[in-house]
Every structure is written in structure tokens, then in C-alpha cells.
Amino acid sequence: MNMEKFEQLWNEVSEIGRITANGYRVYIQYCLSGAMTQKQLLEKKPDWKVSSVSNTVRMLHSIGLLDCKVENGNIIYFVNENFRADDYLNKKNA
């Protein structure tokens, strides 16, 4: 992901205000590293707890910041580059 796209997405992320410190860490790691499974993320960050990463990835996915696809039976998560805070907030308040 290029810096311009990251800045655009970061502005959207800052509008939600519901993300934990772990959420920011995981989201930034996906921005830097690209698509990967939770297992691959944990291999990059072995000091992170499995349950914390799992809960955080699920939360980011439920918000819409991460999207996923299944490849060879593995769930691959990646940054949703089309995320818009307004869409999330409108859906949440509906």
C-alpha cells in the first residue's frame, strides 16, 4: 500500500473512534504487510497473543476495515481499501 492510500484510510479510521490499541497495531501491520492469515500475522509478531489477535481481527472485520477471502481452506484477511467511516457510522446508527 502506498503512503497516499494509507493516509486516506487512516483519516477514515480516525473518524470511528472505536478501535483499541491492539486494533491499531493489527490494522497497521496489515497495511504494511498486505494480505495474510492470522497465523501468518502471528509468525511476524510471535510475542502477540493468539486470542488477542483473533478477537482483534474479528472486530476489524466486523467494522469493515478488514475484508477476507478463502484460499485453499485458509481465511486470508486484507485491508478494505474502500472503507468509508460514514458508511460504517450510518449503518451502526440505523
Expressed as residue numbers, the domain containing 26 is 3-88
Report the percentage of the chain scoring pLDDT > 70: 99
* Cα–Cα distance for residue pair 72/64, rounded to 1 Å: 23
Percent of the chain with pLDDT over 90: 79
94, part of any domain: no
Total domains in the chain come to 1
- Mean residue pLDDT across the chain: 92
Total-model pTM: 0.89
Q: CATH number for the domain including 58? A: 1.10.10.10
Q: What is the distance between the alpha carbons of residues 55 and 94, in angstroms, rounded to a whole number? A: 25
Residue 34 lies in a domain: yes
Residue 52 in any domain: the answer is yes
93 in any annotated domain = no
